Amino acid sequence: MRAVLWFLALFGIAAAVALFAGNNQGTVTVFWPPWRVDLSLNLVLLLLLAAFGLLHVALRGLSALFSLPRQARQWRLQQKERALYAALLDALAQLLAGRFSRARKAAQAALTQERTLAALDARLPQAQQVRVLSHLLAAESAQALQDRPARDAHLQQALNESADRGVLASPETREGVQLRAARWALDDRDAPAALARLAELPQGAQRRTLALRLRLKAARQDRRTLEALETARLLAKHRAFSDSAAQSIVRGLATELLSGAHDPAQLLRAWGEFEAWEREMPEVAIHAAQRMVALRGDLTLARAWLLPVWERMAAQPQSLGESLRVKLVRALEAGLDSVDAEWLARIESAQRNNPRDANLQYLAGMACMKRQLWGKAQQLLTQAGLALQDPNLHRRAWQALAELAEARDDADQASAAWKRAAQTESP
């Protein structure tokens, strides 16, 4: 359809020109003494059109001739710019391929090309970023080659280039350099330097997932457990870990924080740093109670920490693993001398609801023994001694039975109980 329209237009133009030129009787007279020249108007128009065309072609030719030096210079600069980007890409490719020496050479070649362009007064719009990235790639290669002096030199140059506020550049360039510097400090086991690098980042960049991961590793290396715990919470909120992994990390850091307490006051401060859901974690609550027992602190408070875990175990016996159940029983056993009637009722109720649970039989038997209920204590401890899987609890159950037999002056049963206790293998 478009071709048809073009043909119609051409036919129309041809018809209009034929009508104008065919009936045009006008003439143009040129007086050039002593001559007089008469020319057809159509011829004059054709001559003017031809003259205009020749003039236009001549001007275009002269313009092209005079622009050759400029075009040659632009071509040379374009080739150097292409070589610069090729070297930069080659450095990145070699670094990813693990060829670190070649990567460093390519990055240095890119820097050389950029300096050449700058000397020719042909600065690139992204010249600053090119220099920073080239230094960063060279530093990364030097880090892989364990050439720390070269790495530090390139790193400082990258930081200096990215700190130039007089040149338009994205702030992410400098933030990326600082993050890599923090990573290298971690690789060197220099956690304080890594934390210092991270502290130089803007507030928004410090809360990015990558920065938080680095901060978590650095804080754990430097044994700043509380700071590591706070960072792990932020990472969990950012969904940086799966739920199980986040709970595992937080649980480990909370346990480590509790282990660092050397008196009951420090333990209370550490417990106060936890959030509500962290205090309800069985491993954390049980470890806190064990530390309170070891530090000879307030056992009533320790039992209060254990109450949510106890209620969870009583409601769902399979919710806790065997090792946690044993730790819970041992933590409660340590405070049976000061246990109140309410806790005794809880222990007795849990044992009645789960009569085949050897751990609860042991705990109830020891509680009865502390209350001088000898008969019931012997019955429960005998049942527990036959079923307990934990060697320590098994030995302690038979030792308690031996003491009960000695209190009754039953030498045979006491000897048999001591023998069973001695035959228990150590864990």
For residue 397, tell me if it sits in a domain: no
pLDDT at 30: 76
pLDDT at 426: 53
Whether the CB-CB separation of 264 and 302 falls below 8 Å is answered with no
Cβ burial 170-179 (10 Å sphere, 16+ → b, else e): eeebbbbbbb
Confidence of residue 21 (pLDDT cuts 50, 70, 90): low
CA dihedral sign of residues 404, 406, 407, 413: positive
For residue 378, tell me if it sits in a domain: no
DSSP string, 147-165: -HHHHHHHHHHHHHHHT-T
Q: Tell me which residue range forms the domain holding 152.
A: 74-163
Number of structural domains found in the chain: 1
Mean pLDDT of 291-305: 87
Q: Which of 32-41, 164-173, 397-406 has the lowest mean pLDDT?
A: 164-173
For residue 260, tell me if it sits in a domain: no
Q: Which two tokens stand for residue 274?
A: 């936890």
- Portion of the chain with pLDDT greater than 90, in percent: 23
pLDDT at 92: 93
Q: What are the pLDDT digits (tens) for 242-277? A: 888 888 899 999 999 998 888 889 999 999 888 888
Whether the CB-CB separation of 344 and 367 falls below 8 Å is answered with yes
Contacts of 207 (CB under 8 A, 6+ apart): 234
Q: Looking at the predicted structure, is the pLDDT value of residue 122 above 80? A: no
Q: What are the pLDDT digits (tens) for 320-364? A: 888 888 888 888 888 777 777 888 888 888 888 888 888 888 888
Any idea of the CA torsion for 152, 154, 160, 162, to the nearest 10 degrees?
A: -120
pLDDT at 103: 93
Q: Looking at the predicted structure, is the pLDDT value of residue 170 above 80? A: no
For residue 116, tell me if it sits in a domain: yes
For residue 217, tell me if it sits in a domain: no
